C-alpha cells in the first residue's frame, strides 16, 4: 500500500464536505489532514455529522489559517474544495499560497463551479467576477470517463446535473448516430441545494411534490455544452429543464434527441464501447433506478430508440458521483492511485 496522502477538505461542514469526510475515512491511502471550516473551527466534526462519529472520533474542524501548519513540510496533499462557487477560487488561492510556503506537493479538486471553465470570460458570463483568474490555467475540467490522463495538476469537477448530462451526451454525440440537438430533463434531490434552507428545499414544499425550475436557463447548461464539445469536437445545442424531486439525494436525467431509424443495438454498442473500461458506469437493460446508485459512485445508464428519436436515461448520486465521489476519483488519478480506490462501496439501496 502507498504511504498515506494527507487530505484536506475546505467547506467541510456542507453536504458535499461531509461526503468528502465519509469517503476519505474509507479510503486506503487518503488520511484526513484537515476538515476546514470558517464557521465551526474548533467544534467536533461529529457534532455537525453525527453519522460520521465512528469514523472521525474526536477530530475537530480547523480554521483556514491552521491546516497547513499541521502537515509535515514537503508532504503529499490532496486538497478538496466544497466551498460555494464565487468563494472557492479565492479560498483556493490562499490555500495554495499556504501549501507553497510549506513546500507541500499538492493537487486540488474543486467541487464548485469556479474552475470548470477554461476561459475566464465564459465563467464570468454565467457566474460573475472570477475570484482567482490567474489560477484558471492550472485547472482543467471534465469527467474522468471522458478525459485522458491528467492534463493539469488541478481539476474543476463538473456539477451534479452536468455530470449526469455529460454521461449521456458525450457517447451519444461521439457515436455520430444522432445530431447535436439534445433535450434534457433532470430531477434532483434536495441535498443538491446545499445545507442552507431555502424555500425550494423546505421539507413541506419538497415532500410529495415535483416541480420544474429555471426551465431552459439553468447555469449548468453552458458547462455541459462546452465540456461535451471538448470531449467530442461537436458543440451540442442543449435544452435543459431541471426539476426538484421529493427525495434527499440522487439525480435522474433523461436526454432525448430526434433521430431517424437508429437501431437500438447500435446505440447499446456505442454506450457499451464508450464505457467498457469505466469501473463506475454500467449500461443496463431497460431503465436505471435511483435506489441502485444513491450514496455510491455508480452511474447506471439505459438507452432506447424509436423510428424518430433516441433517449438515454442516467442515474447518479448528486453528492457522490456528481461531487465528492467524482472528485475523489479524479484525485486518485492525479495521485497515481487506482481510480477506484476508496470508491467501490455499493449503494445501500434502501435509504
Ligand atoms: N450539493 C450538491 O449536490 C452538489 C453537487 C455538485 C457540486 N456541488 C458544489 O459543491 C459545493 C458545496 O456544495 P454543498 O451543497 O455542500 O453546499 P453547502 O451545504 O452550502 O456547504 C458549503 C460550505 O462552504 C462553506 N461556505 C459557505 N459560504 C461560504 C463563503 N462565503 N465562503 C467560504 N466558505 C463558505 C460553509 O462551510 P464553513 O462555514 O464551515 O466553512 C458551508 O458549509 C458548492 O460549490 C456546490 O455548487 C454541490
Q: In this structure, are 121 and 180 located in the same domain?
A: no
Lowest mean pLDDT among 132-146, 155-169, 199-213: 199-213
Mark whether 136 and 283 lie in a shared domain.
Answer: no
Neighbouring C-beta atoms of residue 338, cutoff 10 Å: 13
Alpha carbon nearest to ligand 1 atom 15, residue: 194
13, 14, 165: which to mutate for ligand 1, most atoms within 8 A of CB?
14
Identify the burial level of 219 via C-beta atoms within 10 angstroms of its C-beta, where 0-12 means exposed, 13-18 middle and 19 or more buried. middle
Going by pLDDT thresholds of 50, 70 and 90, the confidence category of residue 2 is low
Q: Give residue 285 CA to ligand 1 midpoint distance, Å.
A: 36
How high is the pLDDT of residue 201?
84
Q: Can you give the residue range of the structural domain that contains 43?
A: 5-141
> Do 13 and 131 fall within a single domain?
yes
Indicate whether 153 belongs to any domain: no
* Dist CA 323 CA 340 (whole Å): 15
Which residues are the active-site residues? 160
Residue 1 is predicted with a pLDDT of 45
Atom of ligand 1 nearest to the CA of 10: 41
Q: What distance in Å separates the CA atoms of residue 12 and residue 36, rounded to the nearest whole number?
A: 6
Atom of ligand 1 nearest to the CA of 15: 16
Give the pLDDT score at 242. Answer: 98
What average pLDDT does the chain have?
97
Note whether 112 and 219 are same-domain residues: no
Establish if 171 belongs to a structural domain: yes
**Residue nearest to ligand 1 atom 43, measured at CA:** 14
In a domain, 348, yes or no: no
CATH of the domain at 99: 3.40.50.720
Classify residue 148: in a domain, yes or no: no
Q: Which of 40, 35, 14 is nearest to 24 (CA)?
A: 35
Q: If you take atom 1 of ligand 1, which residue's CA is the nearest one?
A: 192
Q: Which three cell numbers stand for residue 270?
A: 456505442
What's the distance, Cα to Cα, between the start and end of the chain in Å?
32
What string of DSSP letters covers 169-226? HHHHHHHTSS-SEEEEEEEE-GGGG-SS--GGG-HHHHTT--EE-STT--THHHHHHH
Residue 114 burial by CB count (10 A; 0-12/13-18/19+): exposed, middle or buried?
Answer: buried
Q: Where are the alpha helices (DSSP H) in the chain?
A: 15-25, 45-48, 53-56, 88-101, 120-127, 160-175, 203-206, 220-232, 264-274, 325-334
> How confident is the model over 328-332, as a mean pLDDT?
98
Of 16, 20, 244, the one to substitute when testing ligand 1's pocket (max ligand atoms within 8 A of C-beta) is: 16
pLDDT at 198 over 90: no
Indicate which residue's Cα is closest to atom 21 of ligand 1: 14
20, 41, 84, best to mutate for ligand 1 pocket (most atoms within 8 Å of CB): 84
Number of domains in the chain: 2
Q: Which residue has the higher pLDDT, 201 or 150?
A: 150
Residue 351 pLDDT class (50, 70, 90 cuts): confident
Cα of 322 vs centre of ligand 1, distance in Å, is 14
Quick one: DSSP state of residue 2?
A: P
Which atom of ligand 1 lies at the shortest distance from residue 195's CA? 19
Three cell numbers, residue 269: 454498442
Q: Which atom of ligand 1 is nearest to the CA of 83?
A: 24
Residues with CB under 6 A from ligand 1: 11, 13-17, 37-40, 82-85, 87, 91, 111-112, 159-160, 191-192, 194-196, 318-319, 322-323
Q: How many CA atoms lie within 13 A of 265 on its CB side?
A: 0
With a CB cutoff of 8 Å and minimum separation 6, the contacts of 329 are 144, 280, 297, 339, 340, 343
Q: Are residues 125 and 37 in the same domain?
A: yes
CATH number at residue 310: 3.30.360.10
Cα–ligand 1 centroid distance for 178 (angstroms): 37
Distance separating alpha carbons of residues 321 and 250, to the nearest angstrom: 9
Least confidently predicted of 149-163, 188-202, 287-301: 188-202
pLDDT at 160: 98
Residues 80, 188 within the same domain? no
Query: Is 335 part of a structural domain of the chain?
Result: no
CA 249 to ligand 1: nearest atom:
3
Single out the residue of 44, 71, 79, 48 nearest to residue 59, CA to CA: 44
Q: What is the distance between the alpha carbons of residues 94 and 11, in angstroms, rounded to a whole number? A: 14
- Of residues 295 and 203, more confidence is placed in 295
User: For 86-110, what is each residue's pLDDT tens digit?
Assistant: 999 999 999 999 999 999 999 999 9
Amino acid at each position: 500500500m502507498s504511504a498515506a496522502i494527507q487530505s484536506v477538505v475546505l467547506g467541510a461542514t456542507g453536504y458535499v464536505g461531509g461526503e468528502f469526510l465519509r469517503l476519505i475515512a474509507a479510503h486506503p491511502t487518503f488520511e484526513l489532514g484537515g476538515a476546514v471550516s470558517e464557521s465551526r473551527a474548533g467544534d467536533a466534526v461529529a457534532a455537525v455529522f453525527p453519522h460520521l462519529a465512528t469514523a472521525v472520533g474526536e477530530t475537530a474542524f480547523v480554521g483556514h489559517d491552521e491546516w497547513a501548519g499541521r502537515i509535515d513540510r514537503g508532504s503529499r496533499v490532496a486538497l478538496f474544495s466544497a466551498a460555494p462557487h464565487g468563494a472557492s477560487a479565492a479560498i483556493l488561492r490562499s490555500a495554495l499560497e499556504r501549501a507553497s510556503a510549506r513546500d507541500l506537493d499538492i493537487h486540488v479538486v474543486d467541487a464548485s463551479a469556479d474552475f470548470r471553465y477554461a476561459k475566464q470570460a465564459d465563467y464570468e458570463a454565467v457566474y460573475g467576477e472570477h475570484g482567482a483568474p490567474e489560477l484558471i490555467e492550472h485547472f482543467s475540467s471534465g469527467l474522468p470517463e471522458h478525459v485522458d490522463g491528467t492534463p493539469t495538476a488541478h481539476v474543476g469537477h463538473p456539477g451534479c446535473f452536468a455530470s449526469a448530462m455529460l454521461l449521456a451526451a458525450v457517447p451519444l454525440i461521439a457515436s455520430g448516430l444522432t445530431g447535436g440537438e439534445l433535450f434534457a430533463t433532470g430531477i434532483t434531490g434536495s441535498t443538491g441545494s446545499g445545507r442552507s434552507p431555502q424555500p425550494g428545499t423546505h421539507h413541506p414544499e419538497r415532500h410529495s411534490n415535483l416541480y420544474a425550475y429555471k426551465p431552459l436557463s439553468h447555469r449548468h447548461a453552458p458547462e455541459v455544452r462546452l465540456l461535451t464539445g471538448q470531449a467530442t469536437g461537436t458543440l451540442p445545442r442543449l435544452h435543459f429543464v431541471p426539476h426538484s424531486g421529493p427525495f434527499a439525494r440522487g439525480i435522474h436525467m433523461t436526454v432525448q434527441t430526434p433521430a431517424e431509424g437508429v437501431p437500438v443495438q447500435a446505440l447499446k454498442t456505442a454506450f457499451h464501447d464508450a464505457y467498457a473500461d469505466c469501473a463506475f458506469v454500467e449500461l443496463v437493460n431497460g431503465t436505471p433506478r435511483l435506489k441502485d446508485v444513491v450514496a455510491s459512485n455508480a452511474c447506471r445508464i439505459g438507452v432506447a430508440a424509436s423510428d424518430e428519436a433516441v433517449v438515454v436515461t442516467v442515474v447518479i448520486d448528486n453528492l457522490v458521483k456528481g461531487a465528492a465521489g467524482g472528485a475523489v476519483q479524479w484525485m486518485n488519478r492525479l495521485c497515481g492511485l487506482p481510480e477506484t480506490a476508496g470508491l467501490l462501496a455499493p449503494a445501500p439501496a434502501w435509504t
